[in-house]
Chain A
Amino acid sequence: MSALDSSVDALILALRLGLIIVLYGFLLAVFLLVRRELRQQVTKPSNVPGHLVVVEGGSTGLPVGHALPLQAVTALGRAPSCTLPLDDSFVSATHALLTWRDGRWWLRDAGSTNGTFLNQQAVVDGEVPVEYGDVVGLGRLRLKLTP
């Protein structure tokens, strides 16, 4: 009788331990998955040298200093289909186009309602070259081009 009792007790103890282990194992698994996810986000390869760093985020909710990756041809605008969707209400559906060509960046207004600006100057016709450090303005956003 007592042998059975003590083996049941041992089993109970083992199960108690197991309960905590499963619980914390789960937390560990979630933590590892989240960490992997965050790493993948950071090291996503960008084959063109450039980012747009948020100087003013308008109503997009993007924090100042956040770096947006750029593609060789980047469409900036409010539509979700844009390469870089920016949800500020003064930004048009397709607002501007930033292109990497011949070793430099070119900015073009894509027919926006409120205009596209480079360092406070309106981009009206065709393409203008953009250097690192220049600030692109669209809607209430100010984005600085960085390497």
Chain B
Amino acid sequence: MLARFRLAELGLLAFPVAFLGVGLALLALVEQGAVASPAELRAWGPLLLFAGLMLAVHFALVARWPAADQLVLPLVAALSAVGLLMVTRLEPSLAWRQGLWLAVGSAALLGTMFLLPRVDWLARYKYTWAALGCGLVLTTFVFGVDPNGSGDRLWLGARGVYFQPSEVFKVLLVVFLASYLAERREVLALVGRRIGPVRLPPPPYWLPLAVIWLLSLGLLVIQRDLGAAMLIFGIFLGMLYAATARVDYVAGGLLLFALGAAFAYEAFAHVRDRVAIWLDPWPQAQDRAYQLVQGLIALGAGGVLGAGLGFGYPEYIPAVHTDFVIAAVGEELGLLGSLAVVALYLLLVYRGFRIALRAPEGFHQLLAAGLSTVLGLQALIILGGSTRVIPLTGITLPFISYGGSSLLVNYAMVGLLLRISAETARSA
């Protein structure tokens, strides 16, 4: 059957490649001025690399996992193309690095697909993953370095190559939770004592869960990584709901979150700062709220159609190639551009949940749902933070922000999603 050749995927991949091509050509033209012939444009290198990587992944899938979902890779490719284009625009010196990380990411995607014996294999070692994750975060607490000078020691590494363990932690957490909840979902959903209107599951079951949650939150708040703390908590609640369908658990969790947030607000000055600039950034526009305000101005300056690639002023925005990249997208590609980015994330999350719904059994379903939740929630947190919908936290926009560990981990997660969808199709 034609579906075996994944023609839909191939056809769709043409768009991100074309997008990158047009974008890089545009950028080169804006920066170089007139050229005698297209061959002189400096755009070809990254374009060929990108096209090559996506095609390589595509053909690897055709060869080994033809039944996997065909829309996921093009969506990720589109987001990655936007990312590569933006990095080339904002920090040209880092463009090849981003390309390199894309290559590493693609390898990670293929690695998770080919090296994993079965998706269920992950479920067997859940406490290993939990321990590994906690261990990694603890390591940053002791050995953490801060290559960007932002004040938070969240990285491990040396001599120019850094990686962020909290990124790996989130995946390990998802795998652990998926496995733990899949085993215990009936017990968590049914049995329990009542405290008022809320029914609690018996302690032997929720205790390990609560411990790991508290540990993750504590470590992250101590590390001042508020974005990750928010993300971890959101993942935890989302997966708990997906596994048990109990709204009262989510309500209870949100209450705990509110309590935690209130405590953090009282206890930590930097939390107070973040909330203050979220509520009213303008008095502090030259000071603490500078990044946020510049981002908002950029979005406003972009209007609907954008100022045009290369015509904006992203140099006013700190960390514009990482956390605040949506401000640059909004300024240069306009509302049309940023809405398209949001649409891409929506579609990716939709696809992930669709994979979850079609999976035959609990662990696969929860894993797919969890991975989709991570991607969607992470995008939501930083998009919301950059646009002042929620307080700003330092977290990357998946696939678009410059950042190696983020790209690597996100690609690995996509690989897992594709693997789940392939195994579902195979067992049908």
CB contact between B33 and one of A8, A26, A27 (< 8 Å): that residue = A8
Interface string of A12-40 (1 = CB under 8 A from B): 10011011101111110110011000000
Q: Which of B281-330 contact A (CB under 8 A)?
A: 305-306, 308-309
Instruction: Assess the A19–B23 pair: CB atoms within 8 A.
Output: yes
Instruction: Assess the B360–A15 pair: CB atoms within 8 A.
Output: no
Instruction: Assess the A59–B185 pair: CB atoms within 8 A.
Output: yes
Closest to A62 in B: B357
Give the number of A-B contacts (CB < 8 Å).
Answer: 85
B361 lies within 8 A of chain A by Cβ: yes
CB contact between A15 and one of B26, B305, B336 (< 8 Å): that residue = B26
What interface size band does chain B fall in? 35 or more
Instruction: Assess the B19–A24 pair: CB atoms within 8 A.
Output: no
A20 vs B308: C-alpha distance in the bound complex, in angstroms? Answer: 11
Q: How many residues of A contact B (CB 8 A)?
A: 27
Q: A19-B309, A20-B333 are in contact. Are A30 and B71 (CB under 8 A)?
A: yes
B240 to chain A, nearest CB (A): 14
Closest to B307 in A: A16
Interface string of A78-89 (1 = CB under 8 A from B): 001100010101
CB-CB < 8 A to B360: which residues of A?
80, 85, 87
CB-CB < 8 A to B34: which residues of A?
4-5, 8
B210 lies within 8 A of chain A by Cβ: no
Instruction: Assess the B245–A19 pair: CB atoms within 8 A.
Output: no
Interface string of B1-41 (1 = CB under 8 A from A): 00000001001100110110011011001100110000000
Binding site for B on A (CB under 8 A): 4-5, 8, 11-12, 15-16, 18-20, 22-27, 29-30, 33-34, 59, 61, 80-81, 85, 87, 89
- Ordered nearest first, which 6 A-B pairs have the shortest CB separation? A26-B15, A15-B26, A80-B360, A22-B19, A80-B427, A23-B340
Binding site for A on B (CB under 8 A): 8, 11-12, 15-16, 18-19, 22-23, 25-26, 29-30, 33-34, 71, 74-75, 78, 185-186, 189, 245, 305-306, 308-309, 333, 336-337, 340, 343-344, 347, 350, 357, 360-362, 365, 427-428
Q: A23-B336, A33-B12 are in contact. List 12 more A-B contacts (CB 8 A).
A: A4-B34, A12-B308, A15-B26, A16-B308, A19-B23, A23-B337, A26-B12, A26-B78, A29-B12, A59-B185, A80-B360, A87-B361
